């Protein structure tokens, strides 16, 4: 199946699942690498606000008592999703079973969610777990640990169609199902409400203190396992990891100089501007607005900094901000970091970069620095040494180093990991070739802010404002977008000085809270050049940047950077922000010790009424482009063409 | 975050119907609370079972979402359920001077129910909302030109243009054959139209996201008390909902309340003023 077809299918699934569930879209992006043809990764996450207490009970506590009834709620059980969890952890080939995939129905899901909220307010259940991987075996098995056992009869479970074996009923991962623990005296009320809400609820048995998980089929025993064996019975497998840094033949000095050196600029003065335009059109950099606007950004009416910002709302926001509740000023900030290409060089550096970027993005939008939390999602190629995986020790070492980097970064920034997930067998044999995905860590950060009216976005606000970059730029082009664009192997994966970054962010957040910062953005993939391009498009104002000698002096001290290196380096830890001229002195006093450097100035819109970006080195203009020209390459239709038509719709080209 | 004070609003009782895949109850209830009305959110199933759910309410709101998954066609299943359970009561509610607001899926529902355009007695569907001309579901803010001469009570106090978020896949209005469209235009039953930068009604995408003829984004009945529109006033309650609120603040043009709130306030004010 062509990746484009898979991608369109994923997009369609997110449209239906998200929109019909009434969940506003907040963040989204695509990242392409040929190796994801082995297994495309899809990360979808949701965040919810819950009341601290409900029906007089703290909602954070799960209370299941022996004698509570086991109730299955929602969709029916079918053969879909059998071995789904195993399936997501094995190699795919043409014989992979279609039925391993669960087929969801978002409206059933929405009705279940509404029902659960209503039943919770009425105190009709005491505990619940969703039927995810492993289906009933996992949800009931897990809840049974609260009381020390459960007895269920699988023949009671409602089926989509007859013919399922008991073991299939037990492990099917058919969607939209929850398992509830219901006190006996609430059961009738719960079932009555379910009838009125047209949500199917079925008692399957009860929680016990027998120490065993027992299942029968119309009275005949089919499962009888000790809970302790079920949860603790798996022996630990000792695995060996061996780290040897990857050795890649670097591109020749001549090739590097031809791409990044000063001579090229003398020969072709507009070369960097052209590099930037070409970069914005690359799949990993171009706008995906045409995909994102198929999602509902506004339901619940809480959006503050939207997924798309700027004068034309066509620039992806640094982080999004939503009001947490109606009629209240507090906000929630969401951001993320993902850098699989750094992982090719060093997964420790990748993990640091991911946490750093997610934190930095959240801070740019206005998050409290002491109220951040993170979520880690690992997708890895099989890291267990075997005949099929002769490099398993290396892949495991990559995993170990990634965990070490993740831990170090989270500790340095004071960010707890409050949830996470992993998927460990992302390999495929396609046409006799083994394809392993690049080790991929996604770090998502959630932050609080006390008042959404203090939120910032990346659009410069007024001509005359000053543009600063906070945080040093080094020669960090390893795994960079520019390296891929130019087909070069460059040294210098961005390492992150965590202690320095943490101190820098504390100083930045304090200056931001003092009202000194007017707009802020991160320098990330594509470096400062791309960050400035985003700002020029968003503000529809001019950006005049001058590269003085001081800017081109790298940290740590080394040969001076060439302008191309400076503009496309992906050094972590950097924030680009604008401020009023009057604030410059105080900002310099507060941030001077943290690598604050003046980049230039915001200027009036160009003759076409739009933004522009000019970067000078002395008298020479290295970049001189209008926002219209940037937009021409950045906008989605330039790269992907229009999205596939929905069923029943004729295809038409977007404007 | 000051409430928008309306004198007498505390006497206004609004009913918001929820469930079956509808999903805008939180913001719709918040809006009505912000203008001081008393709001009851009720599951459609309970409202139908009650038989007398509308009693005592002067405003009934059909909210946005995907009622019954919008399978078959948007709002179709919900409209049929209503027709055979509380259709007569809804008609009586309107005849007795009650207000009805339908937003997005709610608009689709009351159009398919035949409550709009409401030119004839009884419930007969004479217009429909069909698949957008291009790209299907699309989330973006739109500009609406407001007809100040429309009888619509909700839009009376709005400025000549307002911006609201729009997000739907089936919003293109189609009419039965014959003079109906002209009748609606002549009687000023089109309170809001998609507008371009100059404020003129437009049929061009993306200013008009669905290709609705004449830019028609909403309809009201001849009494002005029944109003439906595709864009979402309940998602612009706070000034900070606007995509350019930071720029508006810096330019000194940030309104005190979201302009969508004023639309809901118009309905509540019309009731409170009686």
- pLDDT per residue over A343-396, tens digit each? 999 999 999 999 999 999 999 999 999 999 999 999 999 999 999 999 999 999
Q: Which residues of A touch B64 (CB under 8 A)?
A: 299
Query: What mean pLDDT value characterizes chain B?
Result: 95
- Residue A455 in this model has a pLDDT that exceeds 60: yes
Residue range A285-309: mean pLDDT, rounded: 96
Sheet strands side by side (includes A320-323): A303-305, A320-323, A331-338, A440-449, A372-379, A417-423
Residue range A304-328: mean pLDDT, rounded: 97
Whether omega for the bond prior to residue A556 falls within 30 degrees of 0, making it cis, is: yes
Kindly indicate the confidence band of residue A647, based on its pLDDT and cuts at 50, 70 and 90: very low
Report the range of poorest mean pLDDT among A6-15, A508-517, A579-588, B100-109. Answer: A6-15
Residue range A37-53: mean pLDDT, rounded: 91
Residue A207 has a pLDDT of 96
Residue A654 has a pLDDT of 39
Torsion of CA A171, A177, A181, A182, to 10 degrees: -140
Query: Taking CA atoms, what residue in A is nearest to B2?
Result: A327
Spell out the domains of chain A, with CATH numbers in brackets.
48-232 (3.90.650.10), 456-644 (3.90.650.10)
Q: CB of B220 within 8 A of CB of B191? A: yes
Q: Which residues share a beta bridge with B65?
A: B22
Report the range of poorest mean pLDDT among A205-214, A631-640, B120-129. Answer: A631-640
Question: What does each C-alpha distance from A256 to A7, A202, A524, A569 come to in angstroms?
Answer: 34, 67, 21, 14
Residue A79 has a pLDDT of 83
Residue range A310-338: mean pLDDT, rounded: 97
Task: Respond yes or no: is residue B185 known to be catalytic.
Answer: no
Interface of B with A in 201-220 (CB under 8 A): 205-206
Residue A123 has a pLDDT of 94
Q: Which two tokens stand for residue A479?
A: 């795994």
The DSSP letter of residue A655 is -
- Residue A639 in this model has a pLDDT that exceeds 80: no
Q: Which residues of A touch B134 (CB under 8 A)?
A: 652, 654
Q: φ, ψ for residue A450 (rounded to 5)?
A: -70, -25
Task: Respond yes or no: is residue B232 known to be catalytic.
Answer: yes
Residue range A30-46: mean pLDDT, rounded: 92
A296 touches chain B (CB under 8 A): yes
Task: Respond yes or no: is residue B163 known to be catalytic.
Answer: no
In chain A, the percentage of residues whose pLDDT exceeds 90 is: 74
- Residue A61 in this model has a pLDDT that exceeds 80: yes
Residue A571 has a pLDDT of 97
Kindly indicate the confidence band of residue B260, based on its pLDDT and cuts at 50, 70 and 90: very high
Q: CB of B109 within 8 A of CB of B75? A: yes
Residue range B264-273: mean pLDDT, rounded: 96
Residue A16 has a pLDDT of 85
Query: Taking CA atoms, what residue in B is nearest to A650?
Result: B134
- Cβ pair A111:B20 closer than 8 A: yes
B48 touches chain A (CB under 8 A): no
Residue A83 has a pLDDT of 67
Which of A645 and A555 is assigned the larger pLDDT? A555
Q: Nearest 5 degrees, angle CA A180-CA A71-CA B43?
A: 75
Query: What mean pLDDT value characterizes chain A?
Result: 91
Residue B3 has a pLDDT of 65
- pLDDT per residue over A403-448, tens digit each? 999 999 999 999 999 999 999 989 998 888 999 999 999 999 999 9
Dist CA B77 CA A643 (whole Å):
29
Which residue among A111, A297, A327 places its CB closest to the CB of B1? Answer: A327
The alpha carbon of residue B86 is apart from the nearest alpha carbon of chain A, in Å, by 17
Kindly indicate the confidence band of residue A652, based on its pLDDT and cuts at 50, 70 and 90: very low
Query: Taking CA atoms, what residue in B is nearest to A302?
Result: B241
Which residue among B24, B241, B243 places its CB closest to the CB of A299? Answer: B24
B45 touches chain A (CB under 8 A): yes
Report the range of poorest mean pLDDT among A279-283, A447-451, A470-474, A649-653. Answer: A649-653
Question: What does each C-alpha distance from B139 to A55, A296, A457, B207 come to in angstroms?
Answer: 37, 6, 20, 12
Residue range A251-274: mean pLDDT, rounded: 87
Residue A649 has a pLDDT of 45
Spell out the domains of chain B, with CATH numbers in brackets.
9-272 (3.40.50.880)
Select which of B57, B234, B242, B262 is catalytic: B234
Sheet strands side by side (includes A542-546): A519-522, A575-579, A466-470, A596-603, A542-546, A612-617, A620-626
- pLDDT per residue over A543-564, tens digit each? 999 999 888 887 767 789 999 9
B21 touches chain A (CB under 8 A): yes
Residue range B1-27: mean pLDDT, rounded: 90
Q: Which residues of B touch A327 (CB under 8 A)?
A: 1, 30, 33-34
The burial class, CB within 10 Å (0-12 / 13-18 / 19+), for B199 is middle
Kindly indicate the confidence band of residue A265, based on its pLDDT and cuts at 50, 70 and 90: confident
Kindly indicate the confidence band of residue A645, based on its pLDDT and cuts at 50, 70 and 90: very low
| Cβ atoms < 10 Å from Cβ of A562 | 23
Residue range A34-50: mean pLDDT, rounded: 91
| Cβ atoms < 10 Å from Cβ of A2 | 8
Which of A243 and A246 is assigned the larger pLDDT? A243
Report the range of poorest mean pLDDT among A5-9, A178-182, A183-187, A449-453. Answer: A5-9
Dist CA A84 CA B10 (whole Å):
54
Which residue among A293, A300, A652 places its CB closest to the CB of B138? Answer: A293
- Residue A655 in this model has a pLDDT that exceeds 70: no
Which residue among A196, A298, A452 places its CB closest to the CB of B139? Answer: A298
- Residue A100 in this model has a pLDDT that exceeds 80: no
Report the range of poorest mean pLDDT among A196-200, A504-508, B225-229. Answer: A196-200
A580 touches chain B (CB under 8 A): no
Q: CB of A526 within 8 A of CB of A564? A: no
Closest CA to B231 of B72, B80, B64: B64
Report the range of poorest mean pLDDT among A84-93, A507-516, B108-117, B132-141. Answer: A84-93
Residue A408 has a pLDDT of 98
Residue range A479-497: mean pLDDT, rounded: 94
- pLDDT per residue over A586-609, tens digit each? 999 999 999 999 999 999 999 999
- pLDDT per residue over A62-93, tens digit each? 889 999 999 999 988 888 767 666 665 566 66
Q: Which residues of B touch A646 (CB under 8 A)?
A: 136-137, 169
- pLDDT per residue over A519-535, tens digit each? 999 999 999 999 999 99
Residue A103 has a pLDDT of 62
Which pairs count as long-range contacts for B47-56, CB under 8 Å and 24+ apart, including other chains?
A: B47/B15, B47/B17, B47/B86, B48/B81, B48/B82, B48/B85, B48/B86, B49/A196, B51/B86, B52/B89, B53/B15, B53/B86, B54/B15, B54/B86, B54/B89, B54/B90, B54/B93, B54/B98, B56/B13
Residue A650 has a pLDDT of 45
Residue range B52-59: mean pLDDT, rounded: 95
Picking from A75, A119, A298 by the largest number of B CB atoms within 10 A of its own CB, the best residue to mutate is A298
Residue A643 has a pLDDT of 47
Interface of A with B in 196-255 (CB under 8 A): 196-198
Kindly indicate the confidence band of residue A653, based on its pLDDT and cuts at 50, 70 and 90: very low
- Residue A569 in this model has a pLDDT that exceeds 80: yes
**Does residue A625 sit in helix, strand or coil?**
strand
Residue A249 has a pLDDT of 84
Residue A624 has a pLDDT of 96
Residue A87 has a pLDDT of 60
Tell which phi-psi region holds residue B177, choosing left (phi > 0), alpha (psi between -120 and 50) or beta.
beta
């Amino acid at each position: 199946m062509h990746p484009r077809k898979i991608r369109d299918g994923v997009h369609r699934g997110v449209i239906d699942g998200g929109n019909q569930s009434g969940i506003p879209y907040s963040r989204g992006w695509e990242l392409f690498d040929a190796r994801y043809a082995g297994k495309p990764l899809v990360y979808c996450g949701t965040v919810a606000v819950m009341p601290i207490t409900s029906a007089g009970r703290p909602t954070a506590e799960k209370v299941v008592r022996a004698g509570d009834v086991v109730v299955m709620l929602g969709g029916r059980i079918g053969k879909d999703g059998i071995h789904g969890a195993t399936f997501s952890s094995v190699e795919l080939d043409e014989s992979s079973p279609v039925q391993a995939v669960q087929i969801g129905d978002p409206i059933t899901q929405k009705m279940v969610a509404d029902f659960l909220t209503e039943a919770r307010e009425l105190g009709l259940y005491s505990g619940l777990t969703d039927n995810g991987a492993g289906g009933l075996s996992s949800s009931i098995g897990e809840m049974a640990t609260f009381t020390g056992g459960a007895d269920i009869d699988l023949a009671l479970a409602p089926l989509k169609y007859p013919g399922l074996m008991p073991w299939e009923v037990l492990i099917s991962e058919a969607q939209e199902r929850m398992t509830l623990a219901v006190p006996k005296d609430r059961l009738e009320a719960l079932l009555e409400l379910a009838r009125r809400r047209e949500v199917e609820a079925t008692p399957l048995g009860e929680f016990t203190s027998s120490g065993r998980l027992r299942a029968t089929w119309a009275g005949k025993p089919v499962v009888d396992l000790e809970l302790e064996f079920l949860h603790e019975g798996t022996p630990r497998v000792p695995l060996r990891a061996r780290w040897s840094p990857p050795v890649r033949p670097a591109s020749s000095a001549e090739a590097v100089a031809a791409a990044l050196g000063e001579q090229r600029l003398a020969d072709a003065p507009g070369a960097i501007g052209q590099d930037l335009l070409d970069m914005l059109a690359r799949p990993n950099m171009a706008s995906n607005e045409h995909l994102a606007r198929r999602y509902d950004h506004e339901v619940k009416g809480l959006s503050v900094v939207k997924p798309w910002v700027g004068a034309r709302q066509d620039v992806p926001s640094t982080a999004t901000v939503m009001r947490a509740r109606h009629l209240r000023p507090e906000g929630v900030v969401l951001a993320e970091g993902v850098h699989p290409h750094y992982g090719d060089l060093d997964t420790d550096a990748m993990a640091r970069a991911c946490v750093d970027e997610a934190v930095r993005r959240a801070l740019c939008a206005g998050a409290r620095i002491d109220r951040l939390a993170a979520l880690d999602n690992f997708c890895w190629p099989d890291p267990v040494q075997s005949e099929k995986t002769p490099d398993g020790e290396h892949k495991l070492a990559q995993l170990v180093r990634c965990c070490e980097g993740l831990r170090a970064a989270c500790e340095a920034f004071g960010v707890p990991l409050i949830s996470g997930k992993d998927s460990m067998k992302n390999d495929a044999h396609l046409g006799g070739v083994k394809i392993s995905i690049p080790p991929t860590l996604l770090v998502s950060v959630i932050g609080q802010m006390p008042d959404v009216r203090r939120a910032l976005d990346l659009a410069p606000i007024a001509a005359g404002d000053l543009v600063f970059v906070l945080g040093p730029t080094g020669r960090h082009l390893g795994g960079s977008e520019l390296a891929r664009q130019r087909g070069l192997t460059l040294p210098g994966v961005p390492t992150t000085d965590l202690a320095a970054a943490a101190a820098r962010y504390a100083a930045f957040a304090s200056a931001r809270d003092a009202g000194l910062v007017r707009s802020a953005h991160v320098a990330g993939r594509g470096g400062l050049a791309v960050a400035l391009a985003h700002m020029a498009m968003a503000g529809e104002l001019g950006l005049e940047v001058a590269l003085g000698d001081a800017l081109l002096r790298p940290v740590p001290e080394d040969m001076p950077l060439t302008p191309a290196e400076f503009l496309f380096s992906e050094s972590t830890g950097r924030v680009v922000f604008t401020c009023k001229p009057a604030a410059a002195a105080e900002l310099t006093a507060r941030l001077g010790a943290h690598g604050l450097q003046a980049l230039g100035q915001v200027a009036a819109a160009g003759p076409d009424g739009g933004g522009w970006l000019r970067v000078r080195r002395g008298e020479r203009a290295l970049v001189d482009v209008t926002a219209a020209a940037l937009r021409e390459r950045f906008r989605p239709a330039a790269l992907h063409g229009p999205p596939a038509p929905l069923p029943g719709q004729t295809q038409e080209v977007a404007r | 975050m000051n409430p928008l004070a309306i004198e007498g609003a505390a006497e206004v009782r609004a009913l918001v119907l929820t469930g079956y895949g509808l999903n805008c109850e939180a913001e719709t209830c918040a809006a009505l609370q912000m203008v001081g009305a008393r709001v009851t959110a009720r599951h459609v199933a309970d409202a139908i079972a009650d038989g007398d759910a509308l009693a005592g309410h002067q405003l009934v709101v059909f909210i946005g979402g995907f009622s019954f998954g919008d399978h078959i066609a948007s709002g179709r299943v919900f409209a049929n359920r209503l027709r055979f359970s509380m259709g007569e009561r809804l008609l009586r509610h309107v005849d007795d001077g009650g207000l009805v607001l339908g937003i997005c899926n709610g608009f689709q529902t009351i159009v398919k129910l035949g409550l709009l355009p409401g030119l004839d007695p009884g419930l007969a569907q004479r217009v429909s909302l069909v698949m957008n001309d291009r790209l299907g579901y699309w989330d973006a803010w739109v500009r609406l030109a407001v007809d100040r001469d429309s009888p619509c009570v909700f839009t009376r106090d709005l400025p000549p243009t307002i911006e609201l978020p729009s997000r739907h896949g089936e919003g293109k209005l189609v009419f039965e054959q014959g003079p109906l469209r002209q009748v609606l235009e002549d009687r000023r039953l089109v309170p809001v139209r998609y507008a371009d930068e100059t404020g003129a009604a437009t049929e061009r995408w993306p200013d008009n996201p669905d290709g609705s003829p004449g830019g028609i984004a909403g309809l009201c009945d001849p009494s002005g008390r029944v109003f439906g529109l595709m864009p979402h006033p309940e998602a612009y309650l706070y000034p900070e909902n606007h995509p350019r609120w930071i720029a508006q603040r810096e330019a000194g043009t940030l309104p005190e309340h979201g302009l969508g709130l004023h639309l809901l306030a118009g309905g509540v004010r019309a009731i409170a003023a009686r």
